[in-house]
Structure formats: C-alpha cells, structure tokens
Structure 1
Amino acid sequence: MPRTTTVECPGCPPIRVLTFDVLGLVKVVEARAKQGGVPKVVERWGEPDTSRHVLAASINDSKFDPLLAVARKSGVTEVLNPINGDLRGLVPSVCQSDVQPEDDAIVGLHLFKKQISDSSSSSGNIVCSKVDGSENYALFGGKGVEANVWDLDKCTKIWTAKSPPKNSLGIFTPTWFTSATFISKDDHRKFVTGTNNHQVRLYDISAQRRPVMSFDFRETTIKAVAEDLDGQTVYIGNGSGDLASVDMRTGIQYCQHVLT
C-alpha cells in the first residue's frame, strides 16, 4: 500500500461545478478568483423534494448544444441545459411495477454522443457504472459484484476484477463498489473505484486483476470519483462531504475541501 501525504490547499483556480443532492436540487458551485478562490454555491435549480432525489447524472459538454441528463428517484430522467438549468426534455419513469419506492431504480446514467444499440443484462446488485470516452467500453461494479469491463460493440464482458486478499488480521472485506471512473478518456484499461469501506483503488486491466494501487480516504463511504483532463488526477468525495484531488501515480492528496 502506498504512503499518502495530504497537502493543504489555500484555494482553487477558477472552476464551475454542478452538484446534486437527496432533495433533488442541482447546485452550481463556483470559485471565481484567479488565485485562491473559495468554492461557493452561486445557484440552485429546482425546489426541495425528496421524491426528486438525484440518483445519477451525465453531461454532454458539446460546444454548440450542451445537455445534462439527471435521473431521479421517481424513475424520471430530465434533460436540462447545463448553463441555466432550463428543461430540454423528459424521459418517463423506467421503474418496474415490482420496484418498491425505497429502492433506487437507477444507479448509473450516460448521455451518449452517438447512436448505440440497446442491450441489457441482469446480474447482481449493480451500484455504479461508467462509459469510457470512446463510448466503446463500460465499467460496472456493486454490492457483491466485482468491477468488470464490457465491450459495448460486442455486448460481451472482457475483464473482471479479483477480490483483494485478506488483510494482516486475516479479515476479508466483502465486495462493495460505490463509484467508478476511467482515468483517461483515451484509455479504457485504467480506472479508479471507490468502495463502501472508504477505500480508493486503481486498476489496470492490462496488468492484473487485482488493484495496482489502493488507499483509504477518511472514514466514510466513497460516494463519487471523477477524472481530471490531465489523465492522472482523480477527484474523490465521501459521505461526510469531504472532497480531495489525488495524483493516482503516487497516491498524494493535493487538495481537500468540505462543502456545506
């Protein structure tokens, strides 16, 4: 396991981030100063409503017609303008009649930039998914479901992770992936996952089936991981509201924030 180092960051460069919560709100977070800006919520889209709890979101950041898809607990998927929050379209509920209200009908969402054939499969309790930049490969993981990669053109599974070995105390941690992302839009072989037991793992399917790097982040479930454009930095968020950016080549945490 690599050694991790936390370096406090005085602020952020200019950024604009869209966040989503259990009350169904879409929040626009910005850091506007050129140096040392503090991230602040500058807009809120929608009204608080637990039935509109955001389960998943996906953005098509096209220069001419950007779109944001938001999947809600009710099963409805909304297509919004990511610049001003205006509603562009609505996909009716995909909930099946046997799905109870307390169950989450949607755990992953991807807004494709190209047309793709429809294919589905029922296997285990899927909690997270991600489509790579080429939209040719998809990554899945969940509770009791090892991380696995699929070829979308052939509709076949091409790789499955192997559970990490027991720790020094002989304790085996059950599989429970909560979030995942590919590190680079140009390479589907490397991806990062977050787990229920606050662990972050780096996989390289061309090297081995077990993680090539893993480390713990704070004390609560990893809720989100997202890649940076540089192809080596990953942003992590957990159930306590802690955020961090990590260089996945070294495991060094560069910046941490707590949003309220």
Structure 2
Amino acid sequence: MPRTTTLECPGCPPLRALTFDSLGLIKVIEARGEDGGVPKVVERWGDPHSSKCVLAASIDDSQNDPLLAVARKNGLTDILNPLNGDLRVAISNAGDSGAQPEDDGIVGLHLFKRQREESSSRSRTLLTCTTKGKASMRSIEVTKVSAESSCSTVKSWNVCASGTIAFSKVDISEKFSLFGGKGVEVNVWDLDKCEKIWTAKPPPKNSLGIFTPTWFTSAAFLSIDDHRKFVAGTNDHQVRLYDTSAQRRPVMSFDFRETPIKAVAEEPDSFNIYIGNGSGDLASVDIRTGKLLGCFIGKCSGSIRSIARHPTLPIIASCGLDSYLRFWDIKTRQLLSAVFLKQHLNEVVFDSAFADKEVANAAADAPMLEIQNGNDTQEDATETLPVKRKEAPEEKDRSKKKKSKENEESKKLKSKKKRRAKGDIHDDAS
C-alpha cells in the first residue's frame, strides 16, 4: 500500500491571490484573520469554456486604478479590474497574419507599470508574444467605460525565425525582455529600441558526442538592479544560469530530478530560486553553487505550472494540473494551506495591495480599547472589592456546641431503641 503522511496546515496571513484555469475561469482566493486564516474562494469571474482557456496573465496591483491582463486561447486579451472583474478593454489577436488564434496563441504577456509614473494620462502599454515569435507592444487608453477604451499597435517584431516560443519575461525595470522556447535559444531584447542585444549559445556535446536539442520552458531574472543575470529551465530537467556580461554559454548548470522544469521563480535580493517540475516537485536552490537547499514538504500530485512569490510576505504560491493552489512558507518550506479549485490551473498571481479590512479595523480600534480598558481599571481600583465574610470565633463555638448536642441526642435515641427491643424479646420469652 502507498505510504501517506498527514500534514498540519496552520493557515495563512491576510493575502489575496488570483488563479487562472483551463476553462477560462478567474477565481479570487482570500485569507483573512490576524492570527492566520484558511484561504477560501470569495469570487469567480467568467463562464467556463475550453476556448477561453487562460494562457498567460499579468497584474498591476497599484493602489490607484489597478489592472489585470489575461490572454486566452481564442485570441482575446482582456484587460480587467482585479478588484471586481469588470472588463475594461478587449483586444483581438486574430486577423493579423491570417492564422487561427489556436495555432498561434499568446504565451508571453506583460502589463507595464512605468507609464503611470511618466505621464498623468490613462494610457498603458501591453507586451504580448505568440508561439510563432510575433511580439508586439500596444498602447491602450483605459477609461472607466469599456466602450470608450481603445488600443493601437505601437511596435511589432519577430523574436525568432523558426521554432516555438514557450515564454517571455520582463525585468523589474521594464526595459529588457527575454524569450525562449523549443528550438529557440534564450535571447534578450531591448524594449525601447526593439533590438536583440544578446543570444545564448548552446552547450557543447557531451562526452559521448550527443547534442541535446534546445528546449527552454521557463526563465526568471535574478537581480532587481541588474538584468544581465537570469536563470532558465529546460525540458531535459536542467537549470542553467546565464550572465550576459560574461559569456554566451551557461555560467553554471545542474540537473533537478528526472522530469522537465515547468516553472521558475526568483527570490528578491537573494541568490535563491524556486523551481517546479512536471512530476510535482518544488524545491529551493542556491543558484550560486547549484546546491539544493531543500524540497517543500507535501509533494504535489500533478505538474507544477506556475510559482508566484509574494512581494512582502515570506510566502510563495504554486499551482498546476492537480487543481490545487498551495501556499508555502519560504523559511520552513512547510505547507501553509491548500485550496482545491476543480480545474487544471495554469497561472497564479498575488495582489500585494490587498489589506484585510477586519484586521485593519481591529488595529485601528486597538488604541481606543486600550484607553477604555485603562479607564475601567482606574474606576475599579477606587471601588471596594467584595470580601468573603468570615465567621466570628463565638459563632464558631456555638455551631460546634450545637453539632455536639445533636450528636449526643441521636446517640441517646439509638440506645433507647435498643433497650426497648431487648425488653420486648424478654417479655415474649416469659
């Protein structure tokens, strides 16, 4: 029989996450409570249909006018309000090259945040990339009424001449992006100029003279301040570290388990990364040495498709084909909570601007409660506390005398009854 283990899930701090599945549903999961609550599904947006399968998602969780971009299998890219799910803009990817949207789906999606700081207008920039390597940057005018919203293609270029793109990743400065996939070496592009600035070189043949075909599945930038270092996962269960300022080939590479790497996430301001593979293994690795720091306790039963790092809390979320959304503690690598969401999950993102209203109200009411408690203690100090009444010594003596008299009288009654019984027996005998 299979060996099973029981894990205790202590719950999560207040957080909010959004998941995207194979039927196009967007589910909002929230954990409330100051001491740690159990995450629950609070909202569900959209109607389930296989043609609406979510392929990629990107969120701008700013305090003012947040937005959520969702790319679907039918070629539509929806710009939503992540607070209530209202549709703001719908962009169609069909009709540009004559190909069907299903044949050239969007696999890379990024909603830019820097436009808001540069100008006061509501125009936003959206980067998309399809499986055939067609990348485009669109300027979107977002208004409160979706009918008045408009979009126009600003720039478009081809990332690769052949092969299939599997992912795209934009750095924190939103000036550089990297692309890679099956038959496409990972390469870095300057988004301001739309120029390729670096292309990786495949590793040499092994000792047996066998060359491994190029097949990248995921990637992540390592440093916030430096876009030159990034890590990429391959289909042949290999993790590679690249430094564009050093060389074109990997600076370091190592194997992880026996199944393809499906998701990679970075730890901000650190050299640790989180990797998930096709068999449900989730682990933390020191990318400087390739040392395995440890696996997260509680193995997933399906392929991991997305890993998200919370911007402020020491928590990561993972989801995949087992239909579970799991929250993990980074320090202890323990499972905090798991939510079953019924459909195959493709993506998960955090809403870092979420604040639990109950916790916020409790924190605001805490000073008032302390003041009231202080006043109550002062008032109680002036009052006389109730004291248990003690019996006087004379009353104690009286009660003892009464008890002794009652005992003597009961003894006398018993002795009289015995004598009478003996006398009756004697009279009968005579």
Which category of TM-score, normalised to the shorter sequence, fits these structures? 0.7 to 0.9
Q: Which moved more, 1:147-156 or 1:222-231?
A: 222-231
Alpha-carbon separation, structure 1, partners of 2:35 and 2:270: 23
State whether structure 2 residue 221 is matched by structure 1 residue 203: no
- Cα 1:45–1:198 change in 2 (3 A) is farther
**1:79 touches 1:90 (CA, 8 Å); kept in 2?**
yes
Secondary structure at 2:268 match in 1: coil
Residue 198 of structure 1 deviates from its aligned partner by 2.3
Partner of 2:216: 177
Q: Which amino acid aligns with 1:226?
A: A
Secondary structure at 1:119 match in 2: strand
Pick from 271, 277, 280 the counterpart of residue 232 of structure 1.
271
**1:181 touches 1:225 (CA, 8 Å); kept in 2?**
yes
Partner of 1:218: 257
Partner of 2:158: 121
Residue 238 of structure 1 deviates from its aligned partner by 3.1
Partner of 1:67: 67
Q: Percent identity?
A: 69
**2:12 touches 2:39 (CA, 8 Å); kept in 1?**
no
State whether structure 2 residue 194 is matched by structure 1 residue 158: no
Partner of 2:144: none
Partner of 1:147: 186
Secondary structure at 1:154 match in 2: coil
Q: Which amino acid aligns with 1:146?
A: E
- Cα 1:29–1:195 change in 2 (3 A) is farther
Secondary structure at 1:107 match in 2: strand
Residue 90 of structure 1 deviates from its aligned partner by 1.8
Question: Which of structures 1 and 2 has the bigger CA Rg?
Answer: 2
Q: Which amino acid aligns with 1:172?
A: F
Q: Which moved more, 1:234-243 or 1:48-57?
A: 234-243
- Cα 1:135–1:13 change in 2 (3 A) is same
How many residue pairs match? The answer is: 253
TM-score by length of 1: 0.80
**2:75 touches 2:102 (CA, 8 Å); kept in 1?**
no
1:68-87 equivalence runs, <5 A: 68-87=68-87
Alpha-carbon separation, structure 2, partners of 1:246 and 1:35: 30
Partner of 1:110: 110
C-alpha offsets along residues 39-71 of structure 1, whole Å, 9 cap, x if unaligned? 776654434321111111112232322222110
Structure with greater strand percent: 1
Alpha-carbon separation, structure 1, partners of 2:95 and 2:234: 26
Residue 188 of structure 1 deviates from its aligned partner by 0.8
**1:95 touches 1:105 (CA, 8 Å); kept in 2?**
no
Residue 122 of structure 1 deviates from its aligned partner by 5.2
C-alpha offsets along residues 179-236 of structure 1, whole Å, 9 cap, x if unaligned? 1221223211011112222222211111221112222333333232222333433333
- Cα 1:122–1:106 change in 2 (3 A) is same
- Cα 1:247–1:12 change in 2 (3 A) is farther
Partner of 2:173: 134
C-alpha offsets along residues 136-189 of structure 1, whole Å, 9 cap, x if unaligned? 111111111111111222222111111112234432210011212212232110
Q: Which moved more, 1:11-20 or 1:131-140?
A: 11-20
**2:284 touches 2:293 (CA, 8 Å); kept in 1?**
yes
Q: Which moved more, 1:160-169 or 1:12-21?
A: 12-21
Alpha-carbon separation, structure 2, partners of 1:133 and 1:253: 25
Q: Which amino acid aligns with 1:214?
A: S
Partner of 2:46: 46
* Higher-RCO chain (CA-CA 8 Å, sequence separation at least 6): 1
- Cα 1:192–1:186 change in 2 (3 A) is same
Structure 1 residues not aligned, in runs of 5+: 1-9
Structure with greater helix percent: 2
